[in-house]
Amino acid sequence: MNSIPTPTVILLDIEGTTLPVSFVHKVLFPYARKALPDLIRDRANDPAVIAALEETRAQGPDREPLDQLMAWMDEDAKVGPLKALQGIAWADGYASGALIADLFPDVPPALRAWSEAGLTLAVYSSGSAPAQRLIYTHTTDGDLTPLFSAFLDLEMGGKKDVESYRQILAKMGWAASDVLFVSDVVAELDAAAAAGLRTCQMVRPEDGTIAGTVHPVAHSMKEVADLFSLPEPVGKAQ
């Protein structure tokens, strides 16, 4: 009997998959929107800020950088320089305790179980890699960053582009069929599947995610484990 091998790499989206959409849109994005004008003024000599503003001017030459950044935020554009600056803004919020990432409660037990079982865990999000690290450092469940092997962002390309997943496989040295990509967005899963990755749509009722018809659907990491024969999450989902 032929059985399908268990994935050995779990590649996770953040927003709508491990963290509620409401936290990103009602807490993180407004925090960055409020902080950006002062940040740009007060850190005008910070190389990371300078680089992000130069890239903003390059990608949005018709507006002042701050206006361009605000316009991108209005449309929830997944653009590298905006994501870099948002990450810098959030760093202050996490450091002061104003921000703490409230992951879906089923996520930490699953991450721990899969890591303990020797699976490779990685993130692929539009949020910058530093912003991803901040989230997993400052969770209500403590610092979960040691569980992850990689934090991948828009430097790999957009999440709806098949080439981005090929780039991730090449960079990480992963075989496509070993990788399970979990995301709430069907277009991202379509792109990942076209690159040969295995896929699972996370459908979170509290986020109002609409289930598609192509990719296996899970409503929690426990269901992901059941669908793909992964180790069962241990400990209580808080």
Ligand X SMILES: CSCCC(=O)C(=O)COP(=O)(O)O
| Residues in contact with Mg ion by the rule CB under 5 A | 13, 15-16, 184
Alpha carbon distances (Å) from 235 to 107, 135, 173: 11, 21, 32
- How far is Cα of residue 122 from the mean position of the Cα atoms in its chain? 9
Find, among 60, 11, 18, 21, the residue nearest to 168 by Cα: 11
Nearer to ligand X, 76 or 118 (CB): 76
Mask of contacts with ligand X, 24-53, x by CB under 6 A? Answer: x---x-------------------------
| Least CB distance to ligand X at residue 57 (A) | 21
Q: How many CB atoms lie within 10 A of CB 52?
A: 24
135 binds ligand X (CB under 6 A): yes
Residue nearest to ligand X (CB): 127
The partner residues of 182 in beta bridges, in order of sequence, read 12, 200
Tokens representing 181 are 């990509």
| Least CB distance to ligand X at residue 113 (A) | 22
Residue 207 binding partner per list Mg ion, ligand X, none, with a CB distance cut-off of 5 to 8 Å that depends on partner kind: none
Dist. CA 78–CA 21, nearest whole Å? 15
Burial per residue of 124-135, b for 16 or more beta-carbon CB atoms within 10 angstroms, e otherwise: bbbbbbbbbbbb
Dist. CA 124–CA 115, nearest whole Å? 17
Stretch that binds ligand X, among 47-55, 58-66, 129-137, 209-217 (CB under 6 A): 129-137
| Least CB distance to ligand X at residue 99 (A) | 11
Stretch that binds ligand X, among 10-18, 110-118, 212-220, 221-229 (CB under 6 A): 10-18
Mask of contacts with ligand X, 86-105, x by CB under 6 A? Answer: x-------------------
Dist. CA 83–CA 131, nearest whole Å? 8
List residues binding ligand X (CB under 6 A): 13-15, 24, 28, 78, 83, 86, 125-127, 131-132, 135, 159
